[in-house]
Amino acid sequence: MYRAVTRHRETHFTGSETVGDIVIGMSDGLTVPFALAAGLSGAVASGHVVLIAGIAEMAAGSIAMGLGGYLAARSEHDSYISERAREEREIDEKRDAEVQEVRDIFAGYGLEGDPLEAATQAIVSRRTTWVDFMMKEELGLDEPDPKRALRSALTIGLSYIAGGIIPLAPYASRLPLTQALLVSVAVTLVALFVFGALKGRFTGSPVWRSALQTLFVGAAASGVAFLIARAVSGAGGGT
């Protein structure tokens, strides 16, 4: 009798960079436009004015956040290229020392004697493999995706817009300004909770803890930003 063999498959989350970009964009998109709109609600009498100001901020914020993500990713890529060039020079100019570093790394994994020398020679016999090994094992650097800069910019920018639509949507209705503010607060808090739960689901963190943490952090950030916006708008209205 033959027994079917079930292959073991491991599932690992591999989209941490994209999720990180979404978290950055969505979190700011939920809090900053909300705080601006809430602050303006005490200084103007028209929900339409609040909506226009919020949309303008959302557009500017998404561009600024996206540009920041692009520059950060480009800087990461440029830094990797620079470090790789330096490692290549060290291999050419300080070969014996670099060979010993490879040997030390393998020794740290428990190899010794002939297996240690065989592993060391297997790495140093191929220059590209050697450089890759040192970048990973000595410096702890993985080569960034060259397309990540543009992808990061678009992800952060679009996530910011998606987050900003939620607190601004009530001001697009015909609700009185005070009611629109209350609805904006309610939907923003719900969105923060749901967003936190989804973040926990995709990153493997406890869902409830992630949801509550995101809710409290987002609410605190929104509250502080709201108080600042209200203070500024109040000061401006008194002049």
Task: Give the pLDDT confidence of 70-110 residue by residue, as tens digits.
Answer: 998 889 888 889 899 998 898 888 888 888 888 888 888 88
Please report the pLDDT score of residue 6 as a whole number. Answer: 44
Please report the pLDDT score of residue 233 as a whole number. Answer: 63
d(C-alpha 38, C-alpha 180), whole Å: 9
Which of 50-54, 109-113, 184-188 bottoms out in mean pLDDT, i.e. has the lowest? 109-113
Do the Cβ atoms of 43 and 181 come closer than 8 Å?
A: no
d(C-alpha 24, C-alpha 67), whole Å: 13
Percent residues over pLDDT 70 in the chain: 87
Do the Cβ atoms of 187 and 166 come closer than 8 Å?
A: yes
- Bigger pLDDT: 24 or 16? 24
Q: Is the pLDDT of residue 234 over 70?
A: no
pLDDT in tens, 188-211: 889 888 888 887 777 777 888 888
pLDDT, the chain, mean? 82
User: What pTM was estimated for this model as a whole?
Assistant: 0.73
